[in-house]
Structure 1
Amino acid sequence: MEMILKWLEHKELGSDTQIFCDGVGVLGLAKPKKIGGYVPDVFCSMPSTGHMIIGGAKTPNDLETRHTKNQLEAYADYLALHSESGELVIATRFAWAPCARSILNNLNSVRTKGKPEVQVLCEFGIWG
């Protein structure tokens, strides 16, 4: 989750940006709402532009589970339906970045609608 928050620090975010984070010890950030029955690690909304970002941190053991696939599908569908533009982000280890990219690219709304935009983050920055 920290990887996603650091990445957000370097993006050009509007003055109306709202960031919600599912973490302990993060001051000033509220917990994200459930989306399709799942709580994302990070939810970022920019009302003035209609842009939203949903991010999840995934360990190698967590990445290829049915739970994660269903979770990511729910997030991608939400972004495709409720944002003018959206990004779905996975943060994982470098060795698992290709797997994460493949999972994101094969989500139904990404394949059929071409949205949301997908990003993979690793300890070295944006992967791919």
Structure 2
Amino acid sequence: MIQAIIEWIESSTDYPNTMAILVDRPFARDRSPPNINGSIPDVFASNGMQNFALIGEAKTALDIETTHSRTQLAAYLTYLSKFETSLLILAVPWYCTNQMRSLVRVIQRKTGTERVKIHVLERLTG
């Protein structure tokens, strides 16, 4: 699902032309995403000159409603809210897209981060 996030960024946005996309991979020693309040996102990109950042996170069906995921999403939304323009991209199995959207809306209301744009990738197999 992480690859789906990268492919969506590359095909649906112009951000790859203006910044590097950092991916949390087992052997990415030198260019992995930053630690954001104790969590490392699956995908991260930022352009300080344009005051923009994006985070991509993949979740399995069993991982969506965990305390860990809620804490991660709250941390990512809070971090992204500091940018003028930001985007949280989420990859979940197709049958979990509404569940993820609902969870993120609840977290956004609790954290006051409603202005962070959210995109949930659809049609992914589980």
Report the TM-score when normalising by structure 2: 0.85
Choose between structure 1 and 2: higher strand proportion: 1
Q: Deviations over 1:23-50 (max 9, x none)?
A: 2477xx8210100100000001123321
Gap regions ≥5 residues in structure 1: none
Aligned length: 122
Q: CA RMSD in A?
A: 2.3
The SS at the match of 2:39 is coil
Report the TM-score when normalising by structure 1: 0.84
Please give the residue correspondences for 1:76-115 in structure 2 after superposition, counting only pairs within 5 Å.
76-81=77-82, 83-108=83-108, 112-115=112-115
Which residue of the partner structure matches residue 122 of structure 1? 122
Cα distance between partner residues in 2 of 1:32 and 1:57 = 14
Cα distance between partner residues in 2 of 1:6 and 1:77 = 25
Deviation >6 Å, runs of 4+: none
**What's the offset of the Cα at 1:14?**
5.9
Q: Is 1:42 paired with 2:56?
A: no
Gap regions ≥5 residues in structure 2: none
Q: Deviations over 1:78-124 (max 9, x none)?
A: 0112x111111110111000001111111136873422111101336
The SS at the match of 1:52 is strand
> Share of identical aligned residues, percent?
29
